[in-house]
Amino acid sequence: MTDIDQARVAELTEREEARLAERLPRSIDLAKRASQSLAGGVACTWHALDPYTIYGARGRGSRLWDLDGNEYVDMHCGYGVMVAGHAHPKVVEAVRGRVGLGTHFAMPVRETVEVAELLAERFGLPLWRFKNSGSEATMDACRIMRATTGRDLVIKVEGSYHGSSDGLAFSYWVDVERAGAADRPVAVHNTAGVPEAFGSVLRIVQFNDLEAVERVLADEGDRVAGMILEPILMNVGVIQPDPGYLSGLRDLLHRHGALLAFDEVKTGVTIAAGGATEWSGVRPDVVALAKAIGGGIPVAAIGGTEEAMRVLVDGTLEGEGTFNGNPLSMAAARAVLTEVLTPDVYERFEAQNARFTAALQDVIARHDLPATVSTVRCRGSIHFRAEPVRNFRDEAGSDGPLQHLAWLFQLNAGVFPPAGDPWTFSVVHTDEDLDRYVGAFEGFAAAVTS
């Protein structure tokens, strides 16, 4: 395995950051103006990239253009939202059609019912509600589990991000030094402003650690409402569940009268028609969806079994939200589900991904890089670590500076990937688009090992 020379990495990083600055004069300029009116110059903390925030201009298909006119193959897809591709004609047509008919009433519309039916069929879960963001959907998933069981504790996986609600703003990307023993992690704040009390009703476990869940249930099973997790971890690169992990969780939780919630905000309708629920064959009690289902229009959904959703049916649990099931969002979601992310798409993703993964693995092998590739259909990531990654702490031990340099090489080659998240490709990405990513990765690998 090639030993990475960190001095060489630092030198290349400086060179690539200087090249990036040359490409982004207008963005760098707008950032100065933006800081006068937008807190931190951005609308979302994650938009502020290191070293420069890139301001966008437009997108079409697999490509997007920034304010300086640079064209990118978009492998970010807006945090995994744009699996339909930018400005997909079917989504544009659906949104245009609805805009002229009025976009918001205090009434559900026909599309609200149709989208619920489509999701029920895909996920094998009969009852649905709509929200506007993934954060709301996961917040409600926890509420449903707590209201159904009358218990307070929720088990959460370390490293998994479930959005910005107070109840779940713990233990996603945290300093391992503060996070307790690996087999008994403690809830660690991710942001200021959240009372400690919210963390006291969470129990934190590592991904792929069934025994840890068993222990929590043995100790406090009669207080545990359920467990929420991403069935495939997608906020620390892609980390896949061990065989039997998800079904083991479901059986364990049910044995203790607790529920299982899948956060499929990233996996839902993207890696399979029925998301990771279909992919794994494990049906949870509750599922939270968002991102890709709206084709770029904000929408989220929450689905569940009749038992889990009874609290919403009988009114025990209030399911509020002015924009829930907004007609514009519903029109976009119906188009995505019926005309864009159709069943044939997932087989195509599988074939494209096999070719793409093999090409990346070939680069790693030829340059003997300490890295592994983990992909599921249109999502994937490179972990800059030689050993397999099974949980957040493995990923936290990976080479951050090397990852940052690999990202800079992509930007300068006209590819826009997320800085740490998994990449996403869309229904309109071609093999040539993916080859641009491979080419930039090859350039990075050659430079860093030369």
380 belongs to the binding site for ligand PLP (CB under 6 A): no
143 belongs to the binding site for ligand PLP (CB under 6 A): no
Q: Which residues contact 359 (CB under 8 A, 6 or more apart)?
A: 434, 435, 438
295 belongs to the binding site for ligand PLP (CB under 6 A): no
Q: How far is CA 328 from CA 54, 128, 216, 295, 387, in A?
A: 28, 18, 43, 11, 46
Position with the least CB separation from ligand PLP: 134
266 belongs to the binding site for ligand PLP (CB under 6 A): yes
Q: Which of 55, 72, 79, 161 is catalytic?
A: 161
How many whole angstroms separate alpha carbon 3 and alpha carbon 447?
A: 13
Please identify, using beta-carbon distances, which residue of 16 and 158 lies nearer to ligand PLP.
Answer: 158
Please identify, using beta-carbon distances, which residue of 23 and 162 lies nearer to ligand PLP.
Answer: 162
> Which two three-digit tokens encode residue 5?
């020379």
Q: Which of 79, 349, 407, 416 binds ligand PLP (CB under 6 A)?
A: 79
CA 404 to chain centre: 19
Q: Nearest approach, Cβ of 31 to ligand PLP (angstroms)?
A: 22
Taking CB under 6 A as the rule, which mask of x and - marks residues 321-360 in contact with ligand PLP? ----------------------------------------
Q: Nearest approach, Cβ of 329 to ligand PLP (angstroms)?
A: 12
Q: Is the peptide bond before 51 cis (omega within 30 degrees of 0)?
A: yes
Please identify, using beta-carbon distances, which residue of 185 and 268 lies nearer to ligand PLP.
Answer: 268
Catalytic: 263?
yes
> Which two three-digit tokens encode residue 390?
């099974």
> Which two three-digit tokens encode residue 400?
């951050």
- Residue count (the chain): 450
Q: Which of 27, 70, 112, 135 binds ligand PLP (CB under 6 A)?
A: 135
Q: Nearest approach, Cβ of 156 to ligand PLP (angstroms)?
A: 12
Number of residues that bind ligand PLP (CB under 6 A): 14
265 belongs to the binding site for ligand PLP (CB under 6 A): yes
158 belongs to the binding site for ligand PLP (CB under 6 A): no
Q: Which of 171, 235, 324, 352 binds ligand PLP (CB under 6 A)?
A: 235
Contact 401, 9 (CB under 8 A): yes
Q: Which of 63, 88, 162, 377 binds ligand PLP (CB under 6 A)?
A: 162
How many whole angstroms separate alpha carbon 405 and alpha carbon 419?
A: 10
Count other Cβ atoms within 10 Å, centred on residue 443.
16
Q: Which residues contact 395 (CB under 8 A, 6 or more apart)?
A: 159, 236, 237, 239, 383, 385, 389
403 belongs to the binding site for ligand PLP (CB under 6 A): no
Give, as one character, the DSSP assignment of residue 55.
P
Judged by phi (left if over 0) then psi (alpha if -120 to 50, else beta), residue 154 lies in beta
Give, as one character, the DSSP assignment of residue 242.
P
Burial of 50 (0-12, 13-18, 19+ CB in 10 A): exposed
* Segment interacting with ligand PLP (CB under 6 A) among 52-60, 64-72, 161-169, 217-225: 161-169
157 belongs to the binding site for ligand PLP (CB under 6 A): no
> Which two three-digit tokens encode residue 374?
């983990």
422 belongs to the binding site for ligand PLP (CB under 6 A): no
> Which two three-digit tokens encode residue 335?
């188009």
163 belongs to the binding site for ligand PLP (CB under 6 A): yes
Q: Nearest approach, Cβ of 348 to ligand PLP (angstroms)?
A: 24
Catalytic: 166?
no
Please identify, using beta-carbon distances, which residue of 128 and 409 lies nearer to ligand PLP.
Answer: 128
How many whole angstroms separate alpha carbon 61 and alpha carbon 16?
A: 27
140 belongs to the binding site for ligand PLP (CB under 6 A): no
Residue with token string 């924009």: 323
Q: Which of 140, 263, 421, 433 is catalytic?
A: 263
Catalytic: 32?
no
Q: Which of 16, 66, 209, 263 binds ligand PLP (CB under 6 A)?
A: 263
Please identify, using beta-carbon distances, which residue of 12 and 233 lies nearer to ligand PLP.
Answer: 233
Please identify, using beta-carbon distances, which residue of 230 and 394 lies nearer to ligand PLP.
Answer: 230
Handedness of CA 235, 238, 241, 242 (dihedral sign): negative
How many whole angstroms separate alpha carbon 372 and alpha carbon 388?
A: 7
Q: Residue 379: beta bridge partners?
A: 376, 424
Q: Which of 131, 156, 266, 291 is catalytic?
A: 291
Binding site for ligand PLP (CB under 6 A): 79, 133-135, 138, 161-163, 230, 235, 263, 265-266, 290
Residues classed as catalytic: 161, 263, 291
